[in-house]
Structure 1
């Protein structure tokens, strides 16, 4: 009986680990900004610049921070769940910028599991069986007019 129970436990553990996938997906930032009414939800009071993008002159650096959110991926395509959590992260960065008195978030860098993956055109999303996650690190600044 103990052997049968042990075999059942091992089989269950193997099955559960097989279901807990973590697939890295790179998706276009432009696509995420076009989805879920992202442009309208973010407005234009805070500007966003991903790593490698040219920014207007930085007047003052106000701090840095990280954001790492997840969303439900059940029954959604990778793109849909990733675009949704991308927007959630961006809203979080925007809120932090406002708290600090910043009018721009610059050097936005993919930072999943604290592994930097800078890109001016793509964001990194990790998709599992039930959750999708996006993580960024960024700097909050005051920029001058263009």
Structure 2
């Protein structure tokens, strides 16, 4: 009995590093994603423009509400980048739909807010990919902008 307990504890100790969750940070181009064929497939139609914090955009006629989306997706059998792109497309589609409902034609000042840590870049958003799950959190402001 003592031998079984010792063996079990040894196996658990050796296996514990494998149980540590992987959380790989990726920094990906938002514009590349918006312009991708996958964006069109999920219904991102160009009627709402997306601008990251620090990215130049046309003059703002009116600012509306701020919003945040925090989503995760199944990353199994996907590359980290593929899983990150997929989950971000879901966020962008939700932002687009909500913007249209409010009469906005843009989401401006977008930035990553994963685990309540801000990451601002005029070109990129961040995603965290694990073995089974990838996650993205974005904040932005709905706005009506000029052409």
Please classify the TM superposition score into its range, dividing by the shorter chain length: 0.7 to 0.9
Following superposition, the deviation at residue 16 of structure 1 comes to 5.7
Gaps of 5+ in 2: none
Decide whether aligned partners of structure 1 residues 116 and 72 sit closer, same or farther in structure 2, where only a CA change above 3 A counts: same
How many residue pairs were aligned?
144
Kept in 1, the 8 Å contact 2:25–2:127? The answer is yes
Following superposition, the deviation at residue 35 of structure 1 comes to 3.7
**Residue of structure 2 aligned with 1:73, choices 67, 72, 75:** 75
What is the TM-score with the length of structure 2 in the denominator?
0.84
Instruction: Report 1:24-43 matches (<5 A).
Output: 24-39=25-40, 41-43=43-45
Gaps of 5+ in 1: none
What is the TM-score with the length of structure 1 in the denominator?
0.85
Kept in 1, the 8 Å contact 2:114–2:138? The answer is yes
Q: Distance in 2 between matches of 1:34 and 1:60?
A: 25
Larger Rg: 2
Q: Distance in 1 between matches of 2:33 and 2:64?
A: 27
> How well do the aligned residues superpose, as a CA RMSD in angstroms?
2.3
Decide whether aligned partners of structure 1 residues 82 and 64 sit closer, same or farther in structure 2, where only a CA change above 3 A counts: same
1:83 is aligned to: 85
